[in-house]
A = this chain, B = another copy of it.
Amino acid sequence: MTNELPTLEPEVFRRQAHQLVDWMADYLRRVGTLPVQPSAPPGAVRSQLPAEAPDRPEGFERIIRDFEAIIMPGMTHWGHPRFFAYFPANSSPPSILAEMLTATLGAQCMSWNTSPAATELEQVTMDWLRKLVGLPDAFTGVIQDTASTATLVALITARDEALRRHDAKAPGADPRRHGEPPVSIDRLTVYASEEAHSSVAKGARMAGFGPDRVRAIPADDRFAMRETLLATAIEADRKAGLIPACVVATVGTTSTTGIDPVPAIAAMCRRESIWLHIDAAWGGSAAILPEMRWIFEGADQADSLVFNPHKWMLVNFDCTAYFVRDRDALRRSFATSPAFLKAEHDDRVVNYRDWGIQLGRRFRSLKLWFVIRTFGVDGIRAMIREHIRLGRLLAEWVEQDGRFELMAPAPLALVVFRYLGEDAGKGGDPGGEREIDMLNERLLQRLHAGGRIMLTQTRAKGKYAIRLALGHLTTREEDVRSAWETIRSAAAELEDTGGAGSGNQGRGE
Interface residues of A in 80-102 (CB under 8 A from B): 85-86, 89-97, 99-102
| Cβ-defined partner of A379 (8 Å) among B9, B57, B202, B205 | B57
- Tell me the complex Cα distance, A349–B42, Å: 7
- The answer to whether A3 touches B120, judged by C-beta atoms less than 8 angstroms apart, is no
- The answer to whether A45 touches B117, judged by C-beta atoms less than 8 angstroms apart, is yes
Within the complex, the shortest CB–CB distance from A276 to chain B, in Å, comes to 21
Flag whether A278 is at the interface (Cβ < 8 A): no
Task: Please tell me which stretch of A22-30, A223-231, A295-303, A428-436 contacts chain B, meaning at least 4 of its Cβ atoms lie within 8 angstroms of it.
Answer: A22-30
Find chain B residues with CB under 8 A from A207 CB: 206-208
Flag whether A170 is at the interface (Cβ < 8 A): no
Find chain B residues with CB under 8 A from A5 CB: 379, 382-383, 386
Most chain B beta-carbon neighbours within 10 Å: one of A12, A75, A112, A360 = A360
- The answer to whether A358 touches B72, judged by C-beta atoms less than 8 angstroms apart, is no
Query: Knowing A28-B10, A117-B70, A378-B1 touch, does A95 contact B105 (C-beta < 8 A)?
Result: no
Find chain B residues with CB under 8 A from A94 CB: 60, 63
- The answer to whether A54 touches B376, judged by C-beta atoms less than 8 angstroms apart, is yes
Find chain B residues with CB under 8 A from A381 CB: 1
Flag whether A52 is at the interface (Cβ < 8 A): yes
- The answer to whether B97 touches A16, judged by C-beta atoms less than 8 angstroms apart, is yes
| Cβ-defined partner of A54 (8 Å) among B179, B373, B459, B508 | B373
- The answer to whether A28 touches B49, judged by C-beta atoms less than 8 angstroms apart, is no
- The answer to whether B38 touches A10, judged by C-beta atoms less than 8 angstroms apart, is no
Flag whether A499 is at the interface (Cβ < 8 A): no
Flag whether A506 is at the interface (Cβ < 8 A): yes
Within the complex, the shortest CB–CB distance from A194 to chain B, in Å, comes to 11
Query: What residue of chain B has the Cβ atom nearest to residue A336's Cβ?
Result: B198
- Tell me the complex Cα distance, A506–B59, Å: 47
Flag whether A250 is at the interface (Cβ < 8 A): no
Find chain B residues with CB under 8 A from A14 CB: 21-22, 24-25
A139-181 contact mask (Cβ, 8 Å, vs B): 1 or 0: 0000001111100100010010000000000000001100111
Find chain B residues with CB under 8 A from A380 CB: 6
Find chain B residues with CB under 8 A from A270 CB: none
- Tell me the complex Cα distance, A112–B507, Å: 12
Query: What residue of chain B has the Cβ atom nearest to residue A290's Cβ?
Result: B1
Query: Knowing A3-B382, A105-B75, A382-B5 touch, does A339 contact B458 (C-beta < 8 A)?
Result: yes
Query: Knowing A99-B103, A344-B506 touch, does A374 contact B42 (C-beta < 8 A)?
Result: no
Query: What residue of chain B has the Cβ atom nearest to residue A334's Cβ?
Result: B202
- The answer to whether A375 touches B57, judged by C-beta atoms less than 8 angstroms apart, is yes
| Cβ-defined partner of A89 (8 Å) among B21, B107, B377 | B107
Query: Knowing A18-B18, A121-B71, A207-B208 touch, does A55 contact B25 (C-beta < 8 A)?
Result: no
Find chain B residues with CB under 8 A from A507 CB: 113, 343-344
- Tell me the complex Cα distance, A373–B104, Å: 19
- Tell me the complex Cα distance, A74–B6, Å: 30
- The answer to whether A376 touches B206, judged by C-beta atoms less than 8 angstroms apart, is no
Within the complex, the shortest CB–CB distance from A141 to chain B, in Å, comes to 13
Flag whether A267 is at the interface (Cβ < 8 A): no
| Cβ-defined partner of A2 (8 Å) among B4, B22, B382, B458 | B382
- The answer to whether A124 touches B49, judged by C-beta atoms less than 8 angstroms apart, is yes
A350-389 contact mask (Cβ, 8 Å, vs B): 1 or 0: 0000000111101000100110111111111111011000
- The answer to whether A120 touches B89, judged by C-beta atoms less than 8 angstroms apart, is no
Flag whether A496 is at the interface (Cβ < 8 A): no
- The answer to whether A152 touches B103, judged by C-beta atoms less than 8 angstroms apart, is no
Task: Please tell me which stretch of A313-321, A391-399, A480-488 contacts chain B, meaning at least 4 of its Cβ atoms lie within 8 angstroms of it.
Answer: A313-321
- The answer to whether A318 touches B362, judged by C-beta atoms less than 8 angstroms apart, is yes
Within the complex, the shortest CB–CB distance from A355 to chain B, in Å, comes to 12
Within the complex, the shortest CB–CB distance from A486 to chain B, in Å, comes to 19
- The answer to whether B20 touches A333, judged by C-beta atoms less than 8 angstroms apart, is no
Find chain B residues with CB under 8 A from A78 CB: 105-108, 114-115
| Cβ-defined partner of A55 (8 Å) among B344, B366, B376 | B376
Within the complex, the shortest CB–CB distance from A243 to chain B, in Å, comes to 13
Which 6 pairs show the lowest CB-CB distances between chains A and B?
Answer: A208-B208, A74-B117, A91-B106, A14-B25, A99-B103, A53-B128
| Besides A86-B340, A344-B505, 14 new A-B residue pairs in contact (Cβ under 8 A), listed by A number | A17-B25, A24-B101, A43-B120, A53-B128, A67-B101, A71-B117, A71-B121, A72-B117, A78-B107, A85-B114, A89-B108, A99-B99, A310-B360, A343-B507
Instruction: Please name 10 pairs of A and B residues whose Cβ atoms are closer than 8 Å in the assembled complex, sorted by A.
Output: A6-B92, A14-B21, A24-B104, A42-B112, A52-B131, A57-B376, A57-B378, A71-B121, A318-B362, A344-B509
